[in-house]
Amino acid sequence: MNDPQQAPWDGLVVGVSLATLDGGSGYGEVEDAALGWREGTIVHAGPRTALPADPNALSGAVIDAGGGWITPGLVDCHTHLVFAGDRAGEFEQRLQGMGYEEIARAGGGIASTVRAVRSAGEDALLEQSLPRARALTADGVTTLEIKSGYGLEFDGERRMLRVARRVGEELGVAVRTTYLAAHALPPEFAGRADAYIDAVVEWLPRLHAEGLVDAVDAFVERIGFTAAQARRVFEAARALGLPVKLHADQLSDGGGAALVAGFDGLSADHVEHTGEAGVQAMAAAGTVAVLLPGAFHVLRETRLPPVDAFRVHGVPMAVATDCNPGTSPLLSLRQAMQLACTHFRLTPEEALRGATVNAARALGLRDRGVLRPGMRADFVHWAIARPAELCYWLGGQLATSVHAGGRRIA
């Protein structure tokens, strides 16, 4: 299949080092390397001296990068990027001492973004969301998960998921959609959470039939839903063969990690309050821990996720932006990696694996996240001297080119 004589390659980069992340540990460093791709797939990721001799293979565009590093494309596996408006006012309220849960109980928080999304048409929603997605891709993101969860009615959830798909089409970034109607209780269902879950379960197959749903999520929390309610949503997902993930144990230990692991969930996300039993359940199920240091940072949280326990039990850790208007208005996955190192003490290597191979796994994607022949040609060229710099700089523009499926997107 990867016969170099079959057709000329579409591109070849030389004069560069690779961090392939191929193998269980280390960056998979290759100096004086070459990366070649054809028809959206990597055909060579290794030493330049190991390139095939056949000149036909090399007749595509050959780029001498003149230094720097290439990593796999970054995978942002947890975002709420499609929304309308902003919540800068709540940020100011919180700085004056008001709590996130307090604001939510007073009708602000997620509910205020729900009001903004319900009154925005599809084109307006797209127009507001595209610049955020562009910021992420410009900083290296080639696969982007986007959740619904600010419509909380059939049409609003559908509109969000449609916009998420359109973001992918417009920017060439691979988008995975997640149905998160069980994010908050809409006002028209006040005091009737179980009836709302009935509706959430009824909308799911209809949206799935339109090809709008790749995975299903819920928010188990004092200000969200109970574990029993999330279980009902997961059962509906399972009936359709859809994978599940969960906003778990963010503000309190609600048993979320064990719940989602019990459904062979792809990931448990946030997990600051996850206890030992939850970690063990995740390890047994192969559920990824998605760390969201942006929300931790913005909410000025102090309870750290059980990173050591994840290491000891071999639970893969991913890192994502959680880009959303309330807890994490974060528009750079590289910045999230930086925060994961400074706040959660991940090593830069763990953070990079967390934003590539482990993040891909948190989306159920096995065809990306490392540089290896046969994988999708998703890769980023960075103007850096060593990989740890990706977690070192705060801000700035380090990505010099970003390719998704072999196509340059930034």
Binding site for ligand NIG (CB under 6 A): 80, 109-110, 113, 219, 247, 250, 295, 322, 324-328
Cβ 85 to Fe ion, closest distance in Å? Answer: 17
Question: CA-based diameter of the chain, in Å?
Answer: 70
Taking the least distance from each CB to ligand NIG, the nearer of 20 and 229 is 229
Using alpha carbons only, what angle is made at residue 360 by residues 355 and 361, rounded to the nearest 5 degrees? 115
Is 94 annotated as contributing to ligand binding? no
Contact 104, 110 (CB under 8 A): yes
Contact 252, 273 (CB under 8 A): yes
The count of other CB atoms within 10 Å of the CB of residue 228 is 11
Is 270 annotated as contributing to ligand binding? no
The count of other CB atoms within 10 Å of the CB of residue 99 is 12
Region binding Fe ion by CB under 5 A among candidate stretches 40-48, 137-145, 183-191, 314-322: 314-322
Beta carbons within 8 Å of 360's beta carbon, 6+ residues apart: 75, 77, 143, 366, 367, 368, 369
Which of the 8 DSSP states describes residue 71? E
- Interacting partner of 255 out of ligand NIG, Fe ion, none (Cβ under 5 to 8 A depending on kind): none
One-letter identity of residue 278:
G
- Interacting partner of 186 out of ligand NIG, Fe ion, none (Cβ under 5 to 8 A depending on kind): none
In angstroms, the CA 322 to CA 298 distance is: 11
Contact 369, 356 (CB under 8 A): yes
CA torsion angle 307 309 315 319 (round to 10): -10
Q: Which of residues 166-185 bind Fe ion (CB under 5 A)?
A: none
Nearest residue (beta carbon) to Fe ion: 322
Is residue 378 within the footprint of Fe ion (CB under 5 A)?
no
Residues 11-50, one symbol each (x = binds Fe ion by CB under 5 A, - = not), give ----------------------------------------
Using alpha carbons only, what angle is made at residue 320 by residues 315 and 321, rounded to the nearest 5 degrees? 155
In angstroms, the CA 90 to CA 134 distance is: 25
Is residue 217 within the footprint of Fe ion (CB under 5 A)?
no
Which of the 8 DSSP states describes residue 57? G
Is 250 annotated as contributing to ligand binding? yes
Element (H, E) at 294: helix 293-298
Cβ 217 to ligand NIG, closest distance in Å? Answer: 9
- Interacting partner of 142 out of Fe ion, ligand NIG, none (Cβ under 5 to 8 A depending on kind): none
Is 372 annotated as contributing to ligand binding? no
Is 247 annotated as contributing to ligand binding? yes
Cβ 105 to ligand NIG, closest distance in Å? Answer: 13
Pairing of strands 141-147, 74-76: parallel
Q: Judged by CB under 5 A, which of 22, 322, 350, 378 binds Fe ion? A: 322
Nearest to 339 by CA among 379, 25, 130, 327: 327
Is 183 annotated as contributing to ligand binding? yes
Element (H, E) at 410: none
- Interacting partner of 273 out of ligand NIG, Fe ion, none (Cβ under 5 to 8 A depending on kind): none
Taking the least distance from each CB to Fe ion, the nearer of 45 and 163 is 163
Is residue 301 within the footprint of Fe ion (CB under 5 A)?
no
Is residue 272 within the footprint of Fe ion (CB under 5 A)?
no
Taking the least distance from each CB to Fe ion, the nearer of 219 and 310 is 219
- Interacting partner of 109 out of Fe ion, ligand NIG, none (Cβ under 5 to 8 A depending on kind): ligand NIG
Nearest to 339 by CA among 294, 395, 286, 405: 294
Nearest residue (beta carbon) to ligand NIG: 326
Cβ 295 to ligand NIG, closest distance in Å? Answer: 4
Spell out the alpha helix ranges (H) of 19-144: 88-95, 100-105, 110-118, 122-138
Cβ 128 to ligand NIG, closest distance in Å? Answer: 14
Cβ 304 to Fe ion, closest distance in Å? Answer: 18
Which residues participate in the annotated binding site for Zn(2+)? 78, 80, 247, 322
What residues are designated binding site for Fe(3+)? Answer: 78, 80, 247, 322
Indicate the annotated binding residues for N-formimidoyl-L-glutamate.
150, 324, 326
Contacts to Fe ion by CB under 5 A = 322
